[in-house]
Structure 1
Amino acid sequence: MIKYNRMVFFLTAFFVMLCFLPLRAQDKEFIKETAKYVEDGKEFYENKNYYEAVEVLTEVLKRDPWNDKAKILLEKTLEKIEDLTGRLKDGFEFLDKGDIDGAYENFLYVKDNSNPKEEDLYGLLAGGFNSIEKMKKRKVYEKIINKGDGFLDQKEFDAALDLFSFAEKFYPEGELASIKYENADLEKTVNGIRMDAIHFFSENDLGGSRIEWNNLLEYKPDDEEARIYLSKIFFKESEKDRLTALAKSYFDNGVILFNSKQYEESIDQFENAIAMNYKIEVSRDYIERAREALKKKTREESSKMAVDVARFLREGIKQYNLEQYKKALSVLNEGLLIDPENTQIQEYIIRATIALKREEEKSVSLFSPFYKLINDLRRLGDRAYATGNYTGSIKFWEEILLIFPFNEKARLGMTRALRKTDPSLAREILAGMFEDAKSYSRREKKREAIAKLKLILDVDSRHRDARALLKELEDENKKKEEQKVVSKKDRRQAKDLYDKGVKLYGKENLPEALQAWKKALELDPEFDEARVYLARAETQLRTLEKIGAGLAEETSALSEDVRIKLKKHYLEGINYYMSGLYKEAITEWEEIIKIDPAYESVVQNIERAKKRLNV
């Protein structure tokens, strides 16, 4: 405002002087002096000393009202003054709005575009910058306070007190930090008393807990938690005999169940006794013994499963070797029901299934879904042959062989019909069959290819291409069979590995026993006893691993201490609820929800208790 009044004064003086000055200066000295004034005004302008420039230029125009240079320069100077005062005003308005950045930007502009010698302008400017610093400091102060509040919310009292103390020193003008410090110090004291009171209560030191809660009420007379705990203490003291009897009943039931070998149920009862602070050490000892008994029972069951699996596999192998494939499959499937993942049983099931399929292909079983179709085709083939329709007969036998390539009757009928048919047609059919055989060979279906080639040679023993391909395939098979032959050395090593596995198994070192038997079977794939033992150990190890994983999961999900803590809150909540102490019951059950929010029955209990409170 000061600058604005000053500017108005200069403008008024300027126009008044215009009225009294002569129209033109003639004197050379006068012109020279005027020019010097203009240069001085220009220098003041360039040095950003705008108020001095106005004074000088006004003097020039008093002497020479028509001096264009002075007029232009004065106009520019006044615009600068107006701009700076406007920016200064904007800066203070930004401060009033709490916009530090906006204020700083305007004040900085004024600083960069003015001269420190302008005391009035710079005085206001310094005040603006000081206000910014104060506001910045205030904001930092508030951040420190907020951070302290955060620590206070987390009950980190020492950290909160340190911050509030620092805030007091950092910004002495603020009053909030000292208030916060006093409140935090009080809250720390109260919290310490509260923790002691809760600890005494959890340790069943009801007298010590009562003293602490009463002490807390001196600081906070309206503390709801203190009132509830004092109510709980009164209840426990007045119902001491009944609660002790209840805890004893849990313990006694646990002993009865333990002696009846109902170990899981006994553990539950002993945990209830511990939750009610009854014979804690003895109950823990019983729990440990019950768990050991459960482990032993599990191992025995696992061992029995393994023995049963081995028995079924041994019988399955026996039936397989006797070519009783259906019986073998039946027995092996019994074993698979016990251990669906047993690889040795799975392997022999595959073997027996393939063997049974091949057997059924030779002669279609009465129970096969294809029996009627094959029987009809066979009858039609025989009828066509009997009437001399050899071509038609061939077609029927081909239909059967498409479904069952190894069917003996179809092969015989096909051979017989081909020998009787027209030689040129027979050659054409045999050529087609030979192409089929080559196709089978390319697709690694050696068995089907060999069957086709033998059928061709049964009809035409001079078929050189068929004979050559058959020899090639049979040589390949012979070579593979020779590779499968187990040498005496391999058989001896396999036996040593088998014996090693048996010793390891006896020491319950199942993983290494498994490896020994697997290596034995690599050397001698038909070492049945090694396979049986491998299946047995595989089942036993897998069962133990599953049980171990289940126990580990249960342990990680809920430790014994946590489980007992939950039971403690649950049982105490029930006792309070049954005695009409609904608030007290709710506080116990809410502790459970903190640990397990999905505990549905507890959630329902809380809702019921709240409804009782509202009645």
Structure 2
Amino acid sequence: MTLLNRQIIFTSMMFFCLGAFVALADVDPVVVEVHYQNGVKFYKRGLYKKAVREFENTLSLDPQNSEATDYLKKAKSAAENEQVKDARESKNNDIHGLYEEGKGLYLKRDYKAAIDVFNQVLAVKPIDDFASFYKERSEIMIAKQLAREKKVDDKKTGYEDRARIKEEKIKEKKLKELDKQEMLKKRAEIGQERRKAREEKAQAVPAAPSAREERQRIKQEKIDQAKQARELRQEEKKALADEKNAKNEEAKKKKSEIKAQKEEKKQEQINIKELFLKGVEEYGRKEYENAIATFEAVIEAESNGRKLYSSSAERLMAKTRMKMKG
């Protein structure tokens, strides 16, 4: 037997023993103290409801007991808090159960049922991250399911449409083939009738050049005339080309002659220059007679052309003669 049970039994016996005494006499301070002490013990052990009863009994016997009044207030407040706590724990247990149920339905992909469960949670607890998250995920998964179903339906519809279009094309192709065969058959019949008509006409009328043969003859004549004209143009073109080539050859020949003449004159000028320089060297060596002869040769060489060195040769020749006289 626990200490608490012994105290409860003792308290009950005290109440039983004191009941008759209280009925016969005035309030006994001992009884008041017993109720008070029991209330304090219950309060300290967390048995707030029992403590409230004991303190109420104490105050019913001794309304002026301030300590019992204070403890009664504390016990009532603690009892209310405990009741609120119990209610909250019960509520949390219920919400936890709904959590598990909703998550299980979500994992089973029963998203509509999961949304209903999480709506119950949010009705009790409007701000709940867990329930809001799984509700949102369930709505997203439902939307994805609907999108997949729609895609499958669209795909199925597309297959059916393509099959129908393909079948229509095949039918259309068959109809075109039949029309083509019918047209070829009619053409063959018409061609056969025309050949038969031509044969009958040929047998009835004497042979004569047909319009087609006449057209071919005229065409051939035109071709021959065009060929002759083309050959004539080619001959004229060739004659012009030969004439042009002859002129070009003559022009080249003249250019060559002019170039040769220029080269010859250039060479003569080079020779005259060398002859003039020779005379200058002889003048410098004081070979005056030789220098005079050389300068005279320079003047004679330039007598029929450009006179580049003649004036210089005449001046030096005059100086040479003066030096010979001096």
TM-score of the two chains, using structure 1 as the length reference: 0.16
Higher relative contact order (Cα pairs below 8 Å, separated by 6+ residues): 1
Q: Which has the higher helix share?
A: 2
**Greater radius of gyration (CA):** 2
